[in-house]
Structure 1
Amino acid sequence: MNKNLAKFLWGSCVRMTLLLLAVSTVSFILITSSPIDPIDAYIGSLSVTEEQYQNIAAFWGLDKPPLERFGLWLYNLAHGDLGLSLVYRQPVLQIIMERFQTSLALMGMSWCLSGALGFTFGVLSGANRGTIFDKVIKTLSLLFASTPVFWLGLLLLVIFAVELQWFPLGLAVPMGMQAEEATWLDKARHLFLPALTLSIGGIANIALHTRQKMIDVISSDYMLFAKARGESKSVAVRRHGLRNILIPAVTLQFAYFNELFGGSILAEKVFSYPGLGETVAVAGLKGDMPLLLGIALFSSLFVFSGNLIANILYGIIDPQIREGSRCE
């Protein structure tokens, strides 16, 4: 393994460990400060005696001081145990893995749509600045970038599911059907509207960012020199423009990992999509601390992985960055 790469990966592991520790601490403080009593949420409408209440608290370790509970949770985490969910009564890691499989299809499709369409629209808009196409793309991008995911999901649901009836109202598979029985076409029809809802904001942001970078590149001296040598605008954009705007686009695309997690919670609630986002909402309303902490760690690791992949791709896309790291 390259020495610089090994050093970079080691530093990334240290930063990731510190990040997860900080996220765990802040998340634990926020959860324990919540007005929701996890025992009351666990009991629900049942009537229990004081002794039964205390026994339930002791069973879940909620009778211990907060600092002791956090220390015990960190100890179990170091041994690969994220604890047991109060709501689902299953290991937290098992719940996250099961729900993430469904959310991964949603976030993966949204991520690909936002990157491919956002980059394409941004390049075409920037290369044709001032045209009707450019004005339409810029206006729509500004509009959708400022539109809340929740409201946009409701709007698409009313138009395409209720009025036009082109797509189902929600869920990941047809109602009354097991996931194993559903065909890929059934799953795709249920996935399309949530994925479109989640990707529109990313498409708009990436298109606006790429458009501005393309305008800057076209106005640069080396593009003017390329035109002076007789190269057409389309050839100059392909040869010189795309490479120079690719790194900023990659940065923005992998930074979108953060918005994917936050947006998926709202999109899954609107479309009743049974993924990790819906699990977060249920765990928050029920005060399920082990599950909330586990999802917080998982989401942080997910976002950190996106940034790490982006940093590695920099050296592949631009050899100057690779050479610069070697010189250091």
Structure 2
Amino acid sequence: MTTQTLPGKADSSSFYRWFGRKFLQYVLVLLIALTINFGLPRLAPGDPLIYFMGQEVNTLTPEQRLRMNRELGLDASVLEQYGNFMAGAVTMKLGSSTKFGKPVTTVLRERLPWTFLLVVPALILSPIIGIICGAYAAWNRGRRRDLLLLTSMLAVNAMPGFWIGMILIAIFAVNLGWLPSYGAVPLTSANDFHYMVEVIRRMILPVATITIASVGTNFLLTRSSMLETLGQDYILMAEAKGVSKRGVIYRHALRNALLPVYTHITMSLGILVSGAVVVETVFSYPGIGRLLYESVVARDFPMMQGVFLLITVGVIAANMLADLTYPLVDPRARTRKPMEGTA
């Protein structure tokens, strides 16, 4: 993959061309993802109503089957269905959920805040822990502290999220009884202190699970980038000038080593929403991940399409954010011209 940098401010026409190409690329990716989302269930063999009703479809009379197809929009041609689906994706009119009996967008609005309550703290804690530990390990490369951190992070990175969650439940919910193991309290606008405490208590284990499951990647990226940066001449010059150990690590080396870590963090904005499926299922947490699981089990086709659309848009938006903000983090990207022939 060829890296393309943002043109300088002086060349505004190059900037607009760069931005236009990027925007068209992401629009094309979104169209392809939506087409796959639309096509996969319809390419599957068998009666499409099976995905909505399961084996109960065999009890329908021909009149009931015809009415169900009409209500679900399956009586139209594939092209008409595709056009209706794309129009619904643009206008956010995604139909009604067969499981919840509500519009898909309504259910998504109800569940999305719960996922944000888990993902946002994890997105803050995981990079902070991973960056600090990665920088410290790189500075102490080859020593016992580095080997201990590296071994621990590799072990954590190899653990599946559901297993981490089950271990935390067994320790803190079952054995110690400190925290609840599942569920959440309804979100309200109340400022009651005890209510807020209960919300936080039920967030701790899921947030800890997502953080632990993702901190290893941030650690390894930071450590690898730091090892490369610490070998640069300007780091040796800073040490020769008598800059303190902390100053060399955090003021000189880490600022340049964070560039690939920053890209990973911005892209994780969309990935963690889909990655919360397992964690929310383990803790019975009413977020988007749990909603996707319930929709698959209930064969709620409109809801599945709505959740997949939300995840797809989230991932694409996160990638676009990384592309647009990377030149703000790395000043060198603002001064270099895009390479001829790059996409």
Q: Deviations over 1:8-38 (max 9, x none)?
A: 5433432222111111111222222446866
2:245 is the alignment partner of 1:237: no
The equivalent residue for 1:112 is: 124
2:292 is the alignment partner of 1:284: no
2-side partners of 1:83 and 1:325: how far apart? 46
Contact 1:84 1:90 in 2 (8 A): yes
Contact 1:16 1:301 in 2 (8 A): no
User: Percent identity at matched positions?
Assistant: 30
2-side partners of 1:65 and 1:327: how far apart? 45
1:268 to 280, 283, 288: 280
Contact 2:137 2:146 in 1 (8 A): yes
1:179 to 180, 187, 205: 187
Aligned residue-pair number:
323
1-side partners of 2:46 and 2:137: how far apart? 49
2:239 is the alignment partner of 1:227: yes
The equivalent residue for 2:82 is: 70
The equivalent residue for 1:27 is: 37
Contact 1:202 1:256 in 2 (8 A): no
2:28 is the alignment partner of 1:18: yes
1-side partners of 2:325 and 2:84: how far apart? 39
2-side partners of 1:253 and 1:326: how far apart? 24
2:134 is the alignment partner of 1:126: no
The equivalent residue for 2:153 is: 141
Contact 1:38 1:287 in 2 (8 A): no
The equivalent residue for 2:214 is: 202
Q: CA deviation at 1:104?
A: 0.8
2-side partners of 1:42 and 1:293: how far apart? 12
Which amino acid is the alignment partner of residue 206 of structure 1? N
Q: CA deviation at 1:134?
A: 1.6
2-side partners of 1:208 and 1:326: how far apart? 30
Contact 1:36 1:285 in 2 (8 A): no
Distance 1:144 1:37, change over 3 A: farther
The equivalent residue for 1:318 is: 330
TM-score by length of 2: 0.85
Q: CA deviation at 1:63?
A: 3.0
Structure 1 residues not aligned, in runs of 5+ = none
2-side partners of 1:327 and 1:58: how far apart? 53
Range 288-297 or range 112-121, more displaced: 288-297
Secondary structure at the counterpart of residue 183 of structure 1: helix
Contact 1:247 1:317 in 2 (8 A): yes
Contact 2:168 2:205 in 1 (8 A): yes
Contact 2:162 2:282 in 1 (8 A): yes
2-side partners of 1:192 and 1:216: how far apart? 36
Contact 2:181 2:205 in 1 (8 A): no
Structure 2 residues not aligned, in runs of 5+ = 1-8
Contact 2:30 2:316 in 1 (8 A): no
Which amino acid is the alignment partner of residue 198 of structure 1? I
Which amino acid is the alignment partner of residue 149 of structure 1? G
Query: CA-atom RMSD, angstroms?
Result: 2.5
Contact 2:118 2:207 in 1 (8 A): yes
Which amino acid is the alignment partner of residue 309 of structure 1? L
Distance 1:327 1:31, change over 3 A: closer
Distance 1:201 1:87, change over 3 A: same
2:262 is the alignment partner of 1:250: yes
Contact 2:206 2:279 in 1 (8 A): yes
Range 143-152 or range 129-138, more displaced: 129-138
The equivalent residue for 2:71 is: 59
